[in-house]
Structure 1
Amino acid sequence: MDVIPARQRLLPLGAAAVTVVLWACAFVSIRSAGDTYSPGALALGRLLAGSLVLGAICLVRREGWPPRTAWRGIGLSGLLWFGVYMVVLNWGEQQVDAGTAALVVNVGPLLIALLGTRLLGDPMPPRLLAGMAVSFAGAVTVGLSMSSGGGSSVLGVLLCLLAAVGYAFGVVAQKPALGRASALQVTTFGCLVGAMVCLPFTGQLVHEAAHAPASATLNMLYLGVFPTALAFTTWAYALARTTASRMGATTYAVPALVVLMSWLALGEVPGVLTLAGGVLCLAGVAVSRSRARSARPAGATAEEPRPERVR
């Protein structure tokens, strides 16, 4: 029986953890920069900053252009995830409170699981289903506990739902491309496609940047360098080594981390319901990432060798 080296098992987990932490941090920056920058301008500035960083790394590493067979997935993920998702999420977060936005956007991992099973043939083991159910219940709990209680904008809810759909289809489109191109290539050119989609907002970006405080512009640049350039690359690296459904379930750790970061960095003490929801999110991720032990025939031992296959 082949044993997977520890390095090969731990690196994708580490990459997924980096992604989740940086995406959780991004929510704070989006809310802050969104007070100054309009949704399209913020998305364009973020994507341009990410494209510059990723392009420089590609030149240093001499990655070159992705093969033609990868361009369909890169183009679709760039359009739907880097482009549409970022604009409508920024817009949606200006229309509804953070709790409602988190609740609606967290439909995304469920859509990824359904689309991954249907379009990619991803397996749907019981542990993954159970873990996603627990995490979604936790996300709903966090969302309800953080909701302001006022009537949410119907437009805002629809925008957050559109963001979830764009996210899900973007991930499913990206997965096949990672079998033909490197994680860095897929991320870099997907980011460039997203930036091209957002070019109509160039005038807004130039005008708003001229009047924006330095803190808002730094937040926008931070979003481009870390939650975009770095986190999307580590995401692609991990996604290339597991299923879309399992990676989607991992992002349910984001609401729990947002609660923790708000507590530590902003002094926003979470209520009991919020803490309980965060714990459920993390517990569900743990269940969905676990694997069932292989059953052994009665009387078999760990040292018993497997019979060789007849060639």
Structure 2
Amino acid sequence: MTNTTADNRQTRAPASGRVPDMTVTAVPAPPVTNRFLVPAAAAVTVVLWASAFIGIRSAGVDYSPGALTLGRILVGTVALTVMAALARKLRLPRGRTLVGIIVWGVLWFGLYNLALNAAERTLDAGTASLLVGLAPILIAVFAGISLGEGFPARLLLGIGIAFAGVAGIALASSSGASDAVSVVLGLAAAVVYAGSTILQKRLLPTVDSLTMTWLGCAAGTVACLPFAPALLDELAAAPTSATLSVVYLGVFPTAIAFATWGFALTRTTAGRLGAATYAAPPLAVLMSWALLDEIPAPVALVGGALCLAGVLVATLRLRS
């Protein structure tokens, strides 16, 4: 029996990660968290972020990019304050951690939203989502530069495929100079997305995810206060439906989705979580088609498919 037990430990432990039987009852939480809560949190984030592209198009008719950014993250900050108060787990960081969170918040909540809102002034929701969907490949690039992971052949191949897709999207959106600028803004949003994810992953070991999300959103709100006069003017003139879209963006794709994203990112790697976002662009295209009656041009869809293929080649490793 001793030999059998030893053999079982040698063959099973590396595959399943289970601890010996006498301790397994003492640590039931990690398997449950990893197997159920993290995928659920990732799924909530992906669905809500996909819906954000639709909300931006809906509200962007009546709200300028800066006003929409401020309105969204202002509502998000209020919602996160309520969530944090109910959770009773705020522990304010200090020093470099606090500075890092402020920088992250200005980038992630302020600059990212501003670039995306401006891009969707002329790009349909599906095309914008396909451009932002390049973020996982950019995360791999940033990891290669900042973490010394290098640039393997599959990453370089994936980059080539993805940017061929970007060229297709740009070709489909080349009806005017404003469209070309919007494509660049969509790419800029993807760059900020990727950089913010790397920065967030580095900060999370020193602060809990809800506190970081709340502080980051508040920092982004303060940075966007120069848009307050425009927001007040447009709020007075906008129809109720557009304002409700702003509220939706603040509560769901911002407060809830960023909270679930931070929860999942604390418990898994940035690369694995980034892989979950592959589903966001197809979902956004379907939602845009169903709710806004808009769909990307065929060339843009082909370009988007190439973008996603490049991301998959670059970030997914083959298993033997």
Give the TM-score of the pair, scaled to structure 2.
0.76
What CA distance in whole angstroms lies between the structure 2 residues aligned with 1:8 and 1:103?
Answer: 29
Go from structure 1 to structure 2 and tell me whether the alpha carbon gap of 1:290 and 1:121 turns closer, same or farther (over 3 Å shift).
same
C-alpha change, 1:175 and 1:47, in structure 2 (3 Å) is same
What letter is aligned with 1:108?
A: A
Q: Residue in 1 aligned with 2:175? A: 150
- Aligned mate of 2:44, from 18, 30, 33: 18
Structure 2 CA distance, aligned partners of 1:96 and 1:271? Answer: 11
Deviation at 1:276, TM superposition (A): 7.0
1:195 aligns with 2:227: no
Q: Which residue matches 2:255?
A: 229
Q: Distance in 1 between matches of 2:312 and 2:32?
A: 19
Partners of 2:87 and 2:75 lie apart in 1 by 19
1:75 to 2:102 alignment: yes
1:87 shift after superposition: 1.1
2:133 counterpart (96, 106, 109): 106
Paired residue secondary structure (1:35)? coil
* AA of the residue aligned to 2:288: S
Instruction: State which drifts further: 267-276 or 177-186.
Output: 267-276
Deviation at 1:101, TM superposition (A): 3.5
Give 1:93's aligned residue. Answer: 120
Which moves more between the two structures, 185-194 or 243-252? 243-252
Task: Establish whether residue 60 from structure 1 lines up as the match of residue 64 from structure 2.
Answer: no
Does the 8 Å CA contact 2:104/2:196 hold for their aligned counterparts? yes
Amino acid at match of 1:30: I
The answer to whether the Cα contact below 8 Å between 1:246 and 1:288 also exists between their aligned partners in 2 is: no
Q: Deviations over 1:254-279 (max 9, x none)?
A: 11111222344445578887777777
Q: Percent identity?
A: 48
Q: Where in structure 2 are the equivalents of 1:1-311 lying within 5 Å?
A: 1=13, 2-3=17-18, 5-68=31-94, 70-98=97-125, 101-120=128-147, 129=155, 136=162, 140=166, 143=169, 147=172, 150-153=175-178, 154-266=180-292
How big is the shift at 1:150? 1.5
Instruction: Report which stretch shifted further, 190-199 or 92-101.
Output: 92-101
> What is the distance in 1 between the residues matched to 2:125 and 2:157?
24
CA RMSD of aligned residues (A): 3.4
Please say if residues 130 and 304 of structure 2, whose CA atoms lie closer than 8 Å, have aligned partners that are also in contact.
Answer: no
Note the C-alpha offset of 1:5. Answer: 1.8
What is the CA deviation profile of residues 47-88 of structure 1, one whole-angstrom value per residue up to 9, with x for unaligned ones?
A: 011101111111122222332253233112101111111112
Q: Could you tell me how far 1:14 is from its partner in structure 2?
A: 1.6
Q: Is the 8 A contact 1:31 1:93 kept in 2?
A: yes
1:156–1:288 Cα change, 3 Å: closer
SS in structure 2 of the partner of residue 94 of structure 1: coil
Summarize the Cα distance change of 1:116–1:73 in structure 2 as closer, same or farther, 3 Å threshold: farther
Q: Are residues 260 and 104 of structure 1, via their aligned partners in 2, closer, same or farther at CA, if it must alter by over 3 Å?
A: closer
Gaps of 5+ in 2: 1-12, 19-29
Q: Partners in 2 of 1:215 and 1:132 — Cα distance?
A: 41
CA distance in 2 between counterparts of 1:239 and 1:179 reads: 10
Structure 2: which amino acid aligns with 1:40? G
Name whichever of 188-197 and 10-19 sits farther off: 10-19
Q: Tell me, yes or no, if the aligned pair for 1:253 and 1:281 is still in contact at 8 Å.
A: no
- Aligned mates of 2:39, 2:168 — CA distance in 1: 25
> 2 CA distance for matches of 1:279 and 1:158?
18
CA contact (8 A) 1:47 1:195 kept: yes
Stretch of structure 1 that moved more, 201-210 or 129-138: 129-138
Q: Which amino acid aligns with 2:60?
A: G
Change (3 A) 1:134 1:234: farther
1:99–1:268 distance in 2 versus 1, CA, 3 Å: closer
- Give the Cα–Cα distance (whole angstroms) in 2 for the partners of residues 227 and 288 of structure 1: 27
1:182-223 Cα deviation digits (max 9, x unpaired): 111111111001101100111111111111100000000000
In the aligned structure 1, how far is the partner of 2:177 from the partner of 2:129? 13
After superposition, the Cα gap between the structure-2 partners of 1:144 and 1:84, relative to the gap in structure 1 and judged at 3 Å, is: closer
**Counterpart-to-counterpart distance in 2, 1:22 and 1:275:** 22
Aligned residues: 292
